[in-house]
Amino acid sequence: MPIDVKAIAALASLELSPEEIAPLEGDLARILDYVALLNQLPTADVPPTAHLVDNAPEATLRDDAVRDTVTPWQAPRAALANAPAQAGHLFEVPKIIERG
């Protein structure tokens, strides 16, 4: 089944030019053909592996308590330092009425 690259690009918030779309259709189809070799391996009762660490939450999460220090890179000035557009202490974006 051909892949609707334009529809997938919309899901991924990617604008693609018409010249980009045709080669991507071929690339993705070939890669997915290759990936189909996964179906040669039976996995009926095999659990999925989503991640490799089983750190229990109590081992990895800090106490739910307010810290009295803000590290320098968490300060508002630092957070805004790389913003392409800012107004006062805020990130500036186009007016949002509906998702365009």
Provide the binding-site residues for another protein, judged by CB under 8 A: 3, 5, 8-9, 11-17, 20, 24, 27-28, 30-32, 34-41, 43, 46-53, 55, 59-62, 71-73, 78-79, 81-85, 91, 93-94, 96, 99-100
**Beta carbon of residue 16, minimum distance to another protein (angstroms, whole number):** 7
Phi, psi of 86 (to 5 degrees): -145, 155
- The residue (of 51 and 69) whose beta carbon lies closer to another protein is 51
Phi, psi of 91 (to 5 degrees): -70, 135
**Beta carbon of residue 45, minimum distance to another protein (angstroms, whole number):** 9
Q: What is the DSSP string of 7-59?
A: HHHHHTT----HHHHHHHHHHHHHHHHHHGGGGGS--TTPPP---S----HHH
**Beta carbon of residue 69, minimum distance to another protein (angstroms, whole number):** 13
